[in-house]
């Protein structure tokens, strides 16, 4: 950490060394070091107004000084905010010393944030700091650390996997199989071969599936041999893997399984692999299984050309699981007849009910189901369901962009009128990137939607980013100027207490949870433009805004000057 002794002596000499008409740049840095942020920025802005240009070197030192103050705070909230500022800056390699300290923090959320930032660095020093996470008292952090080290194939990372496995019960072994498949070295492949014959069926199934997903073709003979296994779950996984690895030599065993298996999912896995190997006649039996209500077959129909008519019929089913999976598949077929069912899924209030994936017994196949949050007792499960459901809705919305433009705009208008606001950030981004004249007019119209302030604000942000005219730039900056004093972001604990946080459905006032993402996007857009006026605006926001925003503003300022 930068010592304050130099700045203290410097400040003394400046304070008693006589007055000057233009503030001394060294005095500005001294003021920042003693946390006199407002005065430091005032003096800098005096220089800027006189010289009509920014001093990037001084600005950088001001930001670094402020971030170092935050990094030295014992408060975990300040540490997280500082890490957030560092992540926004794009200059995390300048903060390796603090990241070293952060990953040793007693707080798991600080350790996790440091790991995430370090994952974007690819220097030897960053690998050394990431490795410190292996000593964490929190199993989740240690596993996350191993994941990063395995991806980087660092020295002895496989040995570290073995060390952690030996500390845990046998039931945890399947969790580590993917790490060997990712690593892919000769040693890792040899271990995978052993795992393919492990006494635990769960380990064997996991090894088969990850070997396929990571295209470990050299394990094909080992996987092929499991097609005759008596355990239908292992056989299901093997059938899936054969098709994924395009093993043309296994068509006959797959046909036999598809004909004789008494287990629907094993039969379906064999049929899907046959189809992937070019045996198009297998699609007829998959259609039949879908018509009979097999959710895994319905979910797969999205990959089969010519399945639209079957899916359109299934989408109208009164069985929720059938209708849900048919809608997903019909969307994958880019069929505009998905419109009404898709908008219903996108408007589902995930505070009340959500969506969760589930796998077949052999974990080779996947489908989706609706889940009521009230049916879950564990607060952590409720929070996980909410996160998974939001991600699911975002994927559906992003996929909807591939529908005809007229259909997508209908979806956008419906969502804009809806009380559900969680998809607004992504929706506006998609409209902004789509960029047609109809889209542009829609954004302009909704930028003045009096009854919906969040929508109005996001549309103004989009118009600013699209550089349509100086008028919308001025409108955006005018709006942003009124938001400086609101706290930009608040961090939640890693495990929430389960208290229900929400607001009345008819209340359209902005909650802190909603404006958090909006502020981050807005100020980030300002920093990305790198223009002198934007830099001045960020400085004023740092000076006048909420004290907890300062670390984020410092990071954004660094981004704006680089």
Tens of pLDDT, residues 103-156: 999 999 999 999 999 988 877 888 999 999 999 999 999 999 999 999 999 889
Query: Does residue 333 fall inside a structural domain?
Result: yes
Q: Which residue has the higher pLDDT, 526 or 131?
A: 131
> What is the structure's pLDDT at 511?
44
pLDDT value, residue 4? 41
Distance CA 9, CA 30 (A): 9
Query: Based on the number of CB atoms within 10 Å of its own CB, is 551 exposed (0-12), middle (13-18) or buried (19 or more)?
Result: buried
DSSP single-letter state for residue 357: E
**CA dihedral sign of residues 488, 493, 495, 500:** negative
**pLDDT above 50 (res 13):** no
More confident residue, 475 or 389: 389
d(CA 223, CA 249): 12
What is d(CA 1, CA 386) in angstroms, rounded to the nearest whole number? 40
Of residues 341 and 81, more confidently modeled: 341
8 pLDDT above the threshold of 80: no
The phi and psi torsions of 131 (rounded to 5 degrees) equal -60, -25
Q: How many Å apart are CA 239 and CA 139, to the nearest integer?
A: 34
Is residue 98 within 8 A of residue 86, CB to CB? The reply is yes
Q: What is the pLDDT of residue 137?
A: 93
Amino acid 11: pLDDT: 45
Distance CA 260, CA 254 (A): 10
pLDDT at 415: 95
- Dump pLDDT digits (tens) for 514-524: 567 788 888 88
Q: What is the dihedral of CA 363, 368, 370, 373, to 10 degrees?
A: 50
Q: State the average pLDDT over residues 498-507.
A: 33
d(Cα 121, Cα 477) in Å, to the nearest integer? 33
User: Which long-range contacts link 2-8 to residues 24+ away (Cβ below 8 Å)?
Assistant: 2/33, 2/64, 2/65, 2/68, 4/33, 4/34, 7/33, 7/34, 8/34
Pure H helices in 34-138 = 37-51, 56-71, 76-89, 96-102, 108-118, 124-131
Q: What is the pLDDT of residues 447-486, one digit of tens each?
A: 988 878 889 999 999 999 999 888 998 888 888 887 766 6
Which one is predicted more confidently, 357 or 14?
A: 357
Number of domains forming the structure of the chain: 1
Question: What confidence tens digit (pLDDT) does each residue in 358-371 have?
Answer: 999 999 999 999 99
Position 107 scores a pLDDT of: 92
Whole-number pLDDT of residue 496:
37
Judge whether 390 lies within some domain. Answer: yes
Residue at 373 is within a domain: yes
Average pLDDT rounded to a whole number, residues 272-278: 97
Q: Contact, 308 vs 330, CB < 8 A?
A: yes
Q: Indicate whether 188 pLDDT > 80.
A: yes
Indicate the pLDDT class of residue 181, thresholds 50, 70 and 90: very high
> What gap in Å lies between CA 326 and CA 311, rounded to an integer?
5
In a domain? residue 315 = yes
Segment 314-337, tens digit of pLDDT: 999 999 999 999 999 999 999 999
Cα 289 to Cα 270: distance, rounded to the nearest angstrom: 13
For range 77-94, the mean pLDDT: 86
For the chain, the average pLDDT equals 88
Q: What is the pTM of this model?
A: 0.85
pLDDT digits (tens, 9 = 90+) for 190-219: 999 999 999 999 999 999 999 999 999 999
CA angle 167, 173, 179 (to 5 degrees): 100
Is 162 contained in some domain? no
Range of the domain at 381: 293-403
pLDDT tens digit string along 533-546?
888 888 988 898 88
CA atoms of 182 and 210, how far apart (whole Å): 9
* Signed CA dihedral, 228, 232, 234, 236: sign only: positive
Residue 331: other Cβ atoms inside 10 A: 23
CA–CA separation, 131 vs 112, rounded Å? 13
226-256 pLDDT, tens digit per residue, is 999 999 999 999 999 999 999 999 999 999 9
**391 in any annotated domain:** yes
Alpha helices in 351-452 (DSSP H): 379-400, 405-417, 424-434, 437-446
CA distance 42 to 540: 9
Extract long-range pairs of 288-294: CB within 8 Å, 24+ residues apart. 289/264, 290/314, 293/319, 293/322, 294/264, 294/268
Instruction: For CA atoms 516, 518, 524, 530, give the dihedral sign.
Output: negative
CA–CA separation, 338 and 345 (whole Å): 11
pLDDT at 436 over 70: yes
Of the ranges 272-276, 417-421, 473-477, 543-547, which is most confident?
272-276
Provide φ and ψ at 358, rounded to 5°: -140, 150
What mean pLDDT comes out for the span 43-65? 92
Indicate the SS3 state at residue 367: strand
Helix (H) or strand (E) holding 539: helix 532-544
Angle in degrees, 0-180, between the axes of helices 437-446 and 453-465, rounded to the nearest 10:
140
- Tokens, residue 356: 């969760």
Name which of 87, 85, 133 is nearest 111 in CA terms: 133
Indicate if the pLDDT at residue 24 is higher than 60: yes
Distance between CA atoms of residues 102 and 1, nearest Å? 13
Where is average pLDDT lowest: 15-24, 126-135, 381-390? Answer: 15-24
d(CA 266, CA 257): 8
Helix (H, G, I), strand (E, B) or coil at 313: helix
Rounded Cα distance between 212 and 205, Å, is: 11
Q: Has residue 501 got a pLDDT over 60?
A: no
70 is a domain residue: no
Residue 518, domain member (yes or no): no
The lowest-confidence range among 83-97, 413-427, 479-493 is: 479-493
Of residues 203 and 492, which shows the higher confidence score? 203
Q: Is 299 exposed, middle or buried (0-12, 13-18, 19+ CB in 10 A)?
A: buried
Q: For residue 415, give the nearest of 441, 437, 391, 442 by alpha carbon.
A: 442
Amino acid 488: pLDDT: 62
pLDDT of residue 21: 64
Q: How many helices (H) and strands (E) does the chain have?
A: 31, 2
Q: What is the mean pLDDT of residues 372-396?
A: 90
């Amino acid at each position: 950490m930068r010592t304050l002794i130099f700045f203290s002596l410097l400040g003394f000499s400046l304070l008693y060394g006589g007055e000057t008409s233009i503030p001394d740049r060294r005095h500005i840095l001294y003021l920042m070091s003693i946390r006199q942020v407002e005065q430091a920025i005032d003096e800098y802005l005096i220089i800027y107004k006189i010289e009509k240009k920014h001093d990037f070197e001084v600005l950088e030192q001001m930001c670094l000084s402020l971030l170092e103050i935050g990094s030295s705070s014992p408060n975990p909230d300040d540490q997280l905010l500082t890490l957030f500022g560092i992540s926004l800056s794009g200059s995390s390699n300048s903060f390796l010393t603090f990241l070293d300290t952060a990953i040793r923090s007693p707080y798991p959320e600080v350790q996790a944030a440091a790991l995430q930032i370090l994952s974007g660095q690819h220097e030897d020093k960053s690998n050394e700091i990431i490795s410190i996470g292996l000593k964490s008292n929190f199993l989740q952090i240690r596993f996350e650390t191993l994941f990063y080290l395995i991806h980087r194939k660092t020295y002895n990372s496989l040995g570290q996997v073995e060390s952690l496995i030996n500390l845990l019960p046998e039931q945890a072994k399947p969790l580590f199989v993917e790490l060997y498949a990712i690593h892919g070295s000769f040693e890792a492949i040899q271990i995978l071969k052993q795992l393919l014959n492990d006494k635990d069926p769960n380990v064997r199934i996991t090894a088969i599936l990850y070997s396929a997903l990571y295209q470990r073709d050299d394990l094909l003979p080992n996987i092929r041999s499991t097609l005759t296994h008596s355990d239908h779950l292992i056989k299901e996984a093997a059938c899936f893997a054969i098709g994924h690895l395009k093993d043309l030599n296994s068509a006959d065993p797959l046909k036999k399984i598809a004909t004789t298996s008494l287990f629907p999912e094993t039969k379906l896995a064999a049929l899907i692999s046959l189809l992937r190997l070019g045996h198009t006649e297998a699609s007829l039996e998959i259609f039949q299984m879908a018509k009979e209500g097999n959710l895994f077959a319905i979910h797969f129909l999205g990959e089969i050309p010519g399945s639209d008519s079957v899916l359109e019929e299934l989408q109208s089913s009164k069985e929720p699981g059938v209708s849900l999976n048919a809608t997903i598949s019909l969307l994958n077929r880019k069929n505009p007849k998905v419109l009404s069912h898709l908008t219903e899924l996108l408007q589902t209030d995930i505070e009340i009910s959500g969506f969760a994936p589930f796998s077949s017994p052999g974990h080779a196949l996947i489908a989706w189901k609706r889940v009521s949050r009230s049916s879950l007792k564990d607060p952590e499960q409720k929070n996980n369901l909410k996160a998974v459901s939001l991600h699911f809705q975002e994927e559906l919305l992003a996929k909807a962009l591939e529908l005809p433009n007229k259909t997508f705009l209908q979806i956008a208008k419906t969502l804009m009128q809806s009380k559900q606001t969680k998809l607004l950030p992504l929706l506006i981004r998609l409209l902004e990137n789509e960029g047609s004249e109809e889209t542009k007019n829609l954004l302009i119209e909704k930028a003045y939607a009096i009854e919906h302030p969040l929508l109005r604000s996001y549309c103004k942000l989009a118009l600013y980013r699209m550089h349509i005219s100086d008028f919308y730039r001025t409108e955006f900056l005018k709006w942003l100027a009124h938001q400086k004093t609101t706290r930009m972001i608040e961090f939640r604990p890693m495990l929430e207490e389960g208290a229900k946080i929400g607001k009345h459905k008819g209340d359209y006032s902005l909650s802190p949870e909603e404006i958090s993402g909006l502020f981050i996007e807005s100020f980030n857009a300002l920093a990305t433009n790198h223009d002198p006026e934007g830099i001045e605006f960020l400085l004023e926001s740092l000076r006048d805004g909420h004290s907890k925003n300062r670390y984020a503003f410092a990071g954004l300022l660094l981004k704006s000057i680089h």
